[in-house]
Amino acid sequence: MRTLSVAILFCLAAICAGQSHDLSIGQATYGDVIVYKADEIKYGFPFFIRTSIIEYPEPGQKNYAYIKAIYIKDNERDGSGGYPSISAGGIGQRFVKIKLKSQRGGGLNFTVTIYGRY
């Protein structure tokens, strides 16, 4: 019984230590195409919080595709990465504004992929 408890404790510790801050909204299906893909990387500075705003489409451009899925992958797999959030637009819209925020003293390393359908 004691070894089972220790094994469960180690499994829970491994799951908690390996958390990333991915965000996936919607689901890409057959016929959807990648309309935007970018890597957002910013290095960390001690005691500072880094932020980044990603807008699709970029200001001054037009988008004719409806957004079907947004996948934001945190490339820092150890839980030290930042936090993504959608601040405007999103699924079913033709625009989206994504805010990426780092932890204090940490950097950002995200891959943003947006799927849409014309």
Rg of the chain over all Cα atoms, to the nearest angstrom: 18
Q: Where are the domains of the chain?
A: 20-117
Q: In the block, which residue shows the tokens 């930042």?
A: 82
Can you give the pTM of this predicted structure? 0.80
CA 37 vs CA 71, 106, 113: distances in Å: 10, 23, 4
Is the sign of the CA dihedral 77, 79, 83, 89 positive or negative? positive
pLDDT per residue over 73-89, tens digit each? 999 888 888 899 999 99
In which element (H, E) is residue 67 found?
strand 66-74
Compute the distance between CA of residue 79 and CA of residue 72 in angstroms, rounded to an integer. 15
pLDDT per residue over 87-112, tens digit each? 999 999 999 999 999 999 999 999 99
pLDDT at 1 (0 to 100): 54
pLDDT per residue over 31-58, tens digit each? 999 999 999 999 988 999 999 999 999 8
Q: Which of 20, 19, 54 is nearest to 39 (CA)?
A: 54
Q: Which residues contact 1 (CB under 8 A, 6 or more apart)?
A: none
